[in-house]
Structure 1
């Protein structure tokens, strides 16, 4: 066996310790604490660790891409599937085209802690009348995160930022 000719060398590992710093608060919705891990607006990929307060309900949303969501602690479910509660150790795959409304159990004693890998965007709707609220994708989250790092005084917070395309000028 021989080593491939093309090898990526790293001066240091791209690693994030989400326990080293406080999470950002108030970005996506009240009651959410967020730590970005990887934001790639060019490929529509966002990887986050998110903590949701007990009894929190998010807007109804449509996924343009797939979601991988792992529950570290707490309990949550979709209002459309109240008997399929997600608890610590649960992994959920959501295909693109899914529509649902996220809700954390009000019985939780602490925040529900999750790890998610999302491709594409969430298109959010008002739960009452179905009107369009906003589109949330890696670019929007990156803008919110970069602003919050400054306004919340968290210059030590790190995340992996995938560089965009570079074009040679000639």
Structure 2
């Protein structure tokens, strides 16, 4: 078998170096984000997220799967307090799971993670009443709003007719 011709020609690699780009601060309170890949049409979001100590996200229901890798720090789901996720931990979440992420107040540094999310988070308040839907489009809107306030033009990979960067 001969080597196939490329389906998508690339003149350059689509890559994001988060060490060379500014983090977008407080996209949510205590949540700083490096967007990596946002695809609202297909419901996929890939983010490097840094959670401040003591952050608790809303309880949420996932419509799709999540892959979450912890680079540094510690976090856990309030529903599973004895299963702390620390540096080097990889977590797979099946679609249909419900949980609430928390970073301990005793953390001495932000908890640094990479997440790949498919679908939607449906968020609920402390009384388990519906709050909002968080999907790739909502995440992109929140990132754009926070970045604008901070004078940052975010750079991430965003599919369009042929993949490219958000700031081109």
TM-score of the two chains, using structure 2 as the length reference: 0.91
Do 1:42 and 1:164's aligned partners in 2 also have CA atoms closer than 8 Å? no
Q: Which runs of 5+ in 2 are unaligned?
A: 163-168
Q: Which runs of structure 1 show a deviation greater than 6 angstroms over 4 or more consecutive aligned residues?
A: none
Query: C-alpha distance in 1, partners of 2:142/2:56?
Result: 20
The answer for the alignment partner of 2:158 in structure 1 is: 161
Residue 26 of structure 1 and its aligned partner are, at CA, apart by 2.0
CA RMSD after TM alignment: 1.5
- Give, in whole Å, the separation in 2 of the partners of 1:5 and 1:14: 19
Q: How many Å separate the matches in 1 of 2:73 and 2:150?
A: 26
Q: Deviations over 1:77-133 (max 9, x none)?
A: 001100000000000000000000101122211000000000001000002x11111
Residue 67 of structure 1 deviates from its aligned partner by 0.2
SS of residue paired to 2:56: coil
Q: Deviations over 1:36-78 (max 9, x none)?
A: 0000011100000000011111111000100000000000000
**What are the residue-to-residue correspondences of 1:70-85 with 2, within 5 Å?**
70-85=69-84
Q: Distance in 1 between matches of 2:29 and 2:146?
A: 14
1:23, 1:92 → 2: CA distance? 24
Which of 135, 139, 142 pairs up with 1:141? 139
Aligned length: 162
Q: Secondary structure at the match of 1:106?
A: coil
Under a length normalisation based on structure 1, what TM-score does the superposition of the two structures give?
0.90
